[in-house]
């Protein structure tokens, strides 16, 4: 939609023949009447009765009166200049992803295509696709193991967040699992933020490190309005004969965290279920709607209104001979 000129109330132009109708349908007004009269309408009466001065002067006065009336009606129709549409900023949510990098995430019990891959690789693929779909949200990334680290602060740059997730490696944050500290870090980063606040936490073990207890962290998150979706990842039995020394999945704690904060717990036993989980979260936490546009409008009615008033004053000055 390009910039354009238009009248907001074009139906006002139906009033254009009003002076002529008044003259035709109403009885003449006496000269000494005390009724209030619009200055330039008197010229219509004088010209119709043949009481003007010279023919040329009468013609000019008549045209001036009609022009003044046309400008007055045009001003009442609200002429506007509408600028080009400007996109309004979208109100998305603040969404943090917390991904477990403990040693057990290296267990190869997921498949991509026809090959076995470790849990972290499957998480990267599925969560990466999820990140790309979150247009309008501010997305951040927390990586945790023995400690929790903010790898990417909240940003609209989804490509960078996805790249930082792809670069994550097993045990880069330590071999243990600090679920409570990951939640605590999310609370700290989202505290004071307005709007929807969401944390999606992926882990395959139980809390074995960190300073904050997971359930206590969940209570604090609930008080801050932070909704947590927990995802327990891993098959029922390990397919890696060597193992990684990981700890068993603590579903009870993950379910409690989701319940306390108003979120949901999901169980991902394979790649297909992991994809379905993030599709479900997409539906539960929909992205911002379609882009809204705003067209700046500049009112032009003062210009024809001022011209009409000047013409009316000129007609009045001519009649009174001031």
Residue 186, domain CATH: 3.40.50.410
Distance CA 118, CA 234 (A): 9
How many structural domains comprise the chain? 2
Check whether residue 153 and residue 76 sit in a common domain: no
Helices (H) and strands (E) in the chain, counts: 10, 13
Check whether residue 20 and residue 131 sit in a common domain: no
Burial of 116 per CB tally in 10 Å (0-12, 13-18, 19+): middle
Whether residue 290 is contained in a domain is answered as no
Check whether residue 258 and residue 315 sit in a common domain: no
Q: Is the pLDDT of residue 52 over 60?
A: no
Whether residue 40 is contained in a domain is answered as yes
DSSP calls for 195-230 = S-EEEEEEESS---SSSS-HHHHHHHHHHTTEEEEE
| Predicted local confidence at residue 295, as pLDDT | 74
Check whether residue 222 and residue 111 sit in a common domain: yes
Check whether residue 116 and residue 51 sit in a common domain: no
| 238: confidence class by pLDDT, cuts 50, 70, 90 | very low
- Angle value at C-alpha 61, between 304 and 70, nearest 5 degrees: 30
Check whether residue 66 and residue 205 sit in a common domain: no
> Which range (139-153, 213-227, 263-277) has the least confidence?
263-277
Tokens 């400690």 correspond to 147
150: helix, coil or strand? strand
170: helix, coil or strand? coil
Distance CA 79, CA 283 (A): 45
Whether residue 70 is contained in a domain is answered as yes
Query: Which residue from 61, 63, 130 is spatially nearest to 96, judged by alpha carbons?
Result: 130
| Predicted local confidence at residue 218, as pLDDT | 95
**With helix as H, strand as E and coil as C, how does 19-58 read?**
HHHHHHHCCCCCCCCCCCCCCCHHHHHHHHHCCCCCHHHH
Check whether residue 106 and residue 158 sit in a common domain: yes
Q: CA torsion 151→153→155→161, rounded to 10°?
A: 0
By residue range, what is the domain housing residue 233? 94-284
Q: Is the pLDDT of residue 26 over 80?
A: no
Check whether residue 221 and residue 250 sit in a common domain: yes
Q: Is the pLDDT of residue 88 over 70?
A: no
Whether residue 31 is contained in a domain is answered as no
Check whether residue 275 and residue 243 sit in a common domain: yes
Check whether residue 173 and residue 209 sit in a common domain: yes
Question: Using one digit for the tens of pLDDT, what is the confidence trace for 292-308?
Answer: 667 778 888 888 888 88
């Amino acid at each position: 939609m390009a910039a354009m000129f238009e009248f907001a109330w074009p139906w006002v132009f139906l009033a254009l023949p009003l002076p002529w109708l008044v003259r035709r349908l109403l009885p003449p007004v006496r000269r000494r009447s005390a009724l209030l009269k619009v200055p330039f309408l008197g010229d219509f009466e004088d010209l119709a009765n043949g009481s003007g001065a010279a023919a040329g002067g009468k013609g000019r006065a008549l045209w001036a009166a009609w022009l003044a009336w046309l400008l007055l009606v045009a001003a009442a129709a609200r002429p506007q200049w509408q600028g080009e549409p400007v996109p309004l900023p979208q109100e998305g949510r603040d969404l943090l992803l917390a991904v477990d990098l403990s040693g057990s995430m290296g267990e190869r019990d997921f498949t991509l295509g026809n090959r076995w891959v470790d849990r972290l690789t499957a998480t990267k693929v599925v969560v990466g696709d999820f990140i790309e779909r979150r247009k309008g949200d501010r997305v951040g990334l927390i990586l945790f193991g023995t400690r929790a680290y903010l790898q990417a602060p909240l940003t609209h740059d989804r490509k960078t967040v996805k790249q930082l997730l792809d670069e994550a490696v097993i045990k880069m944050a330590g071999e243990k699992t600090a679920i409570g500290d990951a939640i605590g870090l999310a609370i700290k980063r989202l505290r004071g933020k307005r709007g929807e606040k969401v944390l999606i936490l992926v882990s395959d073990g139980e809390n074995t490190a960190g300073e904050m207890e997971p359930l206590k962290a969940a209570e604090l998150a609930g008080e801050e309005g932070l909704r947590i979706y927990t995802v327990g990842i891993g098959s029922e039995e390990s397919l890696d004969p060597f193992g990684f020394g990981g700890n068993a999945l603590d579903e009870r704690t993950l379910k409690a965290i989701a319940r306390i904060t108003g979120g949901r717990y999901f169980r991902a036993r394979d790649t297909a279920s992991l994809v379905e989980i993030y599709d479900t979260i997409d539906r539960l936490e929909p992205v911002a709607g379609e882009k809204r546009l705003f067209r700046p409008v500049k009112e032009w009615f003062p210009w024809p209104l001022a011209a009409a008033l000047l013409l009316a004053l000129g007609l009045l000055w001519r009649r009174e001979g001031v």
